[in-house]
Amino acid sequence: MPNTETSGGGATLHPLHAILLAFPLALFSAGLISDIAYLRTAVIQWSNFSAWLITGALVFGGLVLAWGVIAAVFPRRSSRRRALAFLAAVAVMWLAGLINAFQHSHDGWPSVGALGLTLSILSSLFALIAAAIGYSSPSARGIVR
C-alpha cells in the first residue's frame, strides 16, 4: 500500500477503482453510438444493444459510485474536494444512466427517442469527466493538498 499522504504524484483513483470506471466509460459511450445507430436506421437490435450496454455500465458504475462515496468520506489518495468532484461526476453519470435504463425499456421508438439520446450523451459525458478527474494525478494538474 503506497503512502498516499506523501506520494503526491499518484493518481486520484486506486488502480482497481480506475479499472471499474473503465467499464461505464466504454459501455455508456458504446450505448450512445448504438442509440445513434437506432435513431438512424430504426433497426430495433441497436436499441436492444443499448439497453444491455447501459445495464452493464450501471452494474460497474454502481461499484464505482459506492467506492467513490467511501473515498469522499475517507479521502486518502487525494483531497476531499477532488474526491467530491469525482463523486459528483460519477453520481450524475450513474443517475442519468439509471433513468436511461428505464427509458430504454420502452417499446419501439421511445426506447431511445430524444430523451434516451440526451441521457446517453449525459452519461457518456459525465463518465468522461469522471475519468478526467480520476485518471489524472493531483500534483501533475497543480492541485495542492
Which residue ranges make up the site for other proteins (CB under 8 A)?
42-45, 48, 51-52, 55, 87-88, 91-92, 95-96, 98-99, 101-111
CB of 2 to other proteins, least distance (A): 29
Q: How far is the CB of 5 from other proteins (least distance, A)?
A: 27
The distance of closest approach from Cβ of residue 112 to other proteins in the complex, given in angstroms and rounded to an integer, is 10
Nearest approach in angstroms of CB 47 to other proteins is 8
Phi, psi of 39 (to 5 degrees): -65, -25
Q: How far is CA 74 from the centre of its chain?
A: 21
Nearer to other proteins, 10 or 21 (CB): 21
Q: Which is nearer to other proteins, 103 or 124 (CB)?
A: 103
Query: Alpha-carbon distance 2 to 117, whole Å?
Result: 41
Q: 71 vs 96, which CB is nearer to other proteins?
A: 96
Residues 103 and 110: beta-carbon distance below 8 Å: yes
Q: Report the alpha-carbon angle 20-21-24, nearest 5.
A: 105
Rounded alpha-carbon distances, angstroms, from residue 46 to 22, 35, 38, 93: 22, 7, 5, 21
Query: Which is nearer to other proteins, 4 or 106 (by Cβ)?
Result: 106
